[in-house]
């Protein structure tokens, strides 16, 4: 729509030029009488008109320049304000994520100093592991911004089969997990990317669906070729995500109300988005509260920039 308006503006701006050229050709070819119009003007008046025109032109240039500077300043201020708000929100979530396990560790250590307590020791170990995973995930997220991608042809079908086989034998073996990969008329094309990072992204998608479902719930992993990209979807019949939480699921350390009591750092989907962004792809989430969720990633066959 914007391009169409721009074209129309240019056309209207060029109409006088085309009309003038057309009339000039008509008069030059003698198709119409070509009277000679002689203008006489006082030199002083002509100088004044030229000065006025130059002044108006300079005034217009300054107005446009100042408007452009003001617009850039306003845009920069909005960007800085948004970045500051994102940092504040991130630090608040980080404080929350660290405070709970550290409090539990302190309580466990206090119990251990009074008397040997296997439960307290187990709690300390569990919370220490939680903090270690959080720090490791934060490091991965930070490294993604600067780490060069080790590009090679990657068969996403192989990754999907490996991860689903492991899931069927692991902690969430009681989920109804299915995998659908097209084979006809041709298999999925390979993508150009970093194998380890793509493995991590798909693992996080699948693990997220398994964590938020109950025994017997259905989890479907689907892959398909869509134009010049491969799309991987992970769908589940879990509790779903409220509409107001959907815009935030890709944010670092974000944990919705339904995530309380579910293990995790709140960085799983943020890592997915960062990895897919580095590969020039896109992520998407669709959900209906009480019915389930579909989370997908789209990776170009040729890889991103």
| pLDDT digit string, tens, across residues 8-65 | 555 555 555 555 556 565 555 665 565 655 555 555 555 556 666 666 776 677 677 7
Cβ contacts of residue 117 below 8 Å, gap of 6+?
A: 108, 111
Mean pLDDT for all residues in the chain: 76
Task: pLDDT band for 6, please (50, 70, 90 cuts).
Answer: low
| pLDDT given for residue 147 in this prediction | 74
Q: Would you say 156 and 199 are in contact if contact means Cβ atoms under 8 Å apart?
A: no
- The two beta strands, 292-300 and 229-236, are antiparallel
In the chain, ranges of CATH 1.10.287.130 domains: 78-144
Taking the domain 78-144, which CATH number applies? 1.10.287.130
Reported as a pLDDT band with limits 50, 70 and 90, residue 218 is: very high
pLDDT at 60: 72
Q: Does domain 154-300 have CATH number 3.60.21.10?
A: no
For residues 80-88, give the mean pLDDT: 61
Question: Minimum mean pLDDT among 42-56, 84-98, 194-208, 281-295: which range?
Answer: 84-98
- Please list the residue range(s) of the chain that carry CATH number 3.30.565.10: 154-300
Contact yes or no for 260/273 (Cβ under 8 A): no
């Amino acid at each position: 729509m914007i391009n169409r308006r721009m074209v129309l503006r240019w056309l209207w701006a060029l109409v006088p030029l085309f009309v003038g050229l057309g009339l000039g050709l008509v008069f030059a070819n003698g198709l119409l009488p070509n009277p000679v119009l002689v203008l006489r003007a006082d030199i002083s008046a002509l100088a004044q008109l030229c000065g006025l025109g130059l002044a108006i032109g300079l005034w217009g240039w300054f107005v446009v320049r100042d408007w452009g500077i003001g617009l850039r300043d306003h845009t920069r201020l909005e960007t800085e304000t948004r970045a500051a708000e994102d940092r504040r929100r991130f630090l608040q979530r980080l404080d929350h994520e660290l405070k709970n396990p550290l409090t539990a560790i302190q309580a466990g250590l206090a119990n251990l100093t009074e008397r040997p307590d296997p439960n307290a020791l187990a709690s300390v170990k569990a919370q220490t592991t939680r903090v270690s995973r959080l720090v490791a995930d934060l490091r991965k997220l930070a490294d993604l911004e600067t780490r060069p991608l080790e590009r090679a042809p990657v068969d996403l079908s192989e990754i999907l089969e490996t991860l689903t086989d492991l899931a069927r034998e692991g902690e969430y073996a009681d989920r109804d997990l299915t995998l659908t990969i097209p084979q006809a008329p041709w298999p999925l094309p390979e993508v150009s990317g970093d194998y380890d990072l793509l493995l991590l992204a798909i693992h996080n998608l699948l693990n997220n669906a398994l964590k938020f479902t109950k025994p017997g719930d259905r989890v479907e992993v689907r892959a398909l070729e869509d134009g010049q990209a491969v799309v991987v979807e992970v769908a589940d019949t879990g509790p779903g995500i409220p509409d107001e939480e959907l815009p935030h699921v890709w944010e670092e350390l974000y944990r919705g109300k339904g995530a309380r009591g579910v293990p995790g750092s709140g960085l799983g989907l943020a890592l997915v988005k960062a990895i897919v962004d580095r590969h020039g792809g896109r992520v998407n989430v669709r959900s209906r509260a009480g019915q389930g969720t579909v989370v997908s990633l789209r990776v170009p066959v040729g890889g991103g920039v």
